[in-house]
Amino acid sequence: MNNEVQGQGGHGHGRSMPELLAELLSQINVRMLISDNEKRQARAIKTAIEACDDLGPLSDMMYTQFAIMHGNDVELAVGRAQHLQVFREEYGVLDTFQQGIESFQAFLKQQPGHILSLIENPIEHNQVLLVDQVKFDDSILRDDEEWKTFVRLHWYLAAGLEPGPPLYEKRTRNCCRMRRFRPEMWFSRCQHVPKIMG
């Protein structure tokens, strides 16, 4: 891909993609702030879920989301994790690196031209996902196996863009998603995702 972005009507004015991304990110400051109490609740939920032999592992972000939703109600959070486990089993999500790679490759074959790039922006060190929504063919998803391919890919994309272990490490990771809906229209959404447990 040409490193200079022109777009329709000269959008980008000859600047490189990293320069445009840096400008975009400088205008956005969205941070997920977690209170000390929510961190304690997330730790309690993590301990309870990990004690259940029939539940697979979750990310720190997921434990935190459960804490925000359910507070001190650990039992309700465990119940939500059980529903999530049913989902994983239904769609054959194994939570392995190998399946993540295979899911990505299968989706690229299923929807050619939809994902343009998944890179790390060298200026902001954030992960940038570029997709062309015009190239997305939802008619393919009527087939059960193709639908599972779609769901698994997005499970792994979400997992890959979430903070990982160690739990509660205080660092920030960024995610920027840019979508093209028509030749002349792009939509961007960027966020700072802190590692909140630690």
Strand order in the sheet with 185-194: 115-120, 127-132, 172-182, 185-194
Shared domain for 74 and 161, answered yes or no, is no
User: For residues 55 and 86, is the Cβ–Cβ distance under 8 A?
Assistant: no
Between 31 and 14, the higher pLDDT residue: 14
Residue 58 reports pLDDT greater than 50: yes
In this prediction, residue 161 carries a pLDDT of 63
Residue in 65, 12, 57, 56 with CA at minimum distance from that of residue 38: 65
In this prediction, residue 131 carries a pLDDT of 84
100 located within any domain: no
In this prediction, residue 48 carries a pLDDT of 96
Tokens of 20: 């445009």
Task: Report residue 1's pLDDT band, with 50, 70 and 90 as the boundaries.
Answer: very low
- Tell me the one-letter amino acid at 53: D
Between 185 and 68, the higher pLDDT residue: 68
Shared domain for 132 and 66, answered yes or no, is no
∠ CA 67-71-75, rounded to 5°: 85
Shared domain for 122 and 24, answered yes or no, is yes
97 located within any domain: no
147 located within any domain: no
156 located within any domain: yes
In this prediction, residue 148 carries a pLDDT of 95
| Interval 69-113: pLDDT, tens | 999 999 999 999 999 999 999 999 988 889 989 999 999 999 999
Shared domain for 173 and 188, answered yes or no, is yes
Structural domain count of the chain: 2
Q: How high does pLDDT run on average in the chain?
A: 76
Shared domain for 198 and 133, answered yes or no, is yes
Lowest average pLDDT, out of 42-46, 74-78, 115-119, goes to 115-119
Q: Which domain holds residue 131?
A: 1-30+105-140+152-198
96 located within any domain: no
| Interval 147-179: pLDDT, tens | 999 999 988 887 776 654 433 333 444 555 565
In this prediction, residue 184 carries a pLDDT of 55
Shared domain for 129 and 167, answered yes or no, is yes
Shared domain for 67 and 18, answered yes or no, is no
146 located within any domain: no
In this prediction, residue 134 carries a pLDDT of 86
Lowest average pLDDT, out of 11-15, 85-89, 103-107, 136-140, goes to 11-15
Instruction: Round to whole Å and give the CA distance between 193 and 157.
Output: 14
Shared domain for 43 and 25, answered yes or no, is no
Instruction: Round to whole Å and give the CA distance between 160 and 140.
Output: 25
In this prediction, residue 40 carries a pLDDT of 94
Shared domain for 188 and 165, answered yes or no, is yes
Shared domain for 116 and 54, answered yes or no, is no
Task: Report residue 37's pLDDT band, with 50, 70 and 90 as the boundaries.
Answer: very high
85 located within any domain: yes
Among residues of the chain, what percentage have pLDDT more than 90? Answer: 39
Shared domain for 159 and 195, answered yes or no, is yes
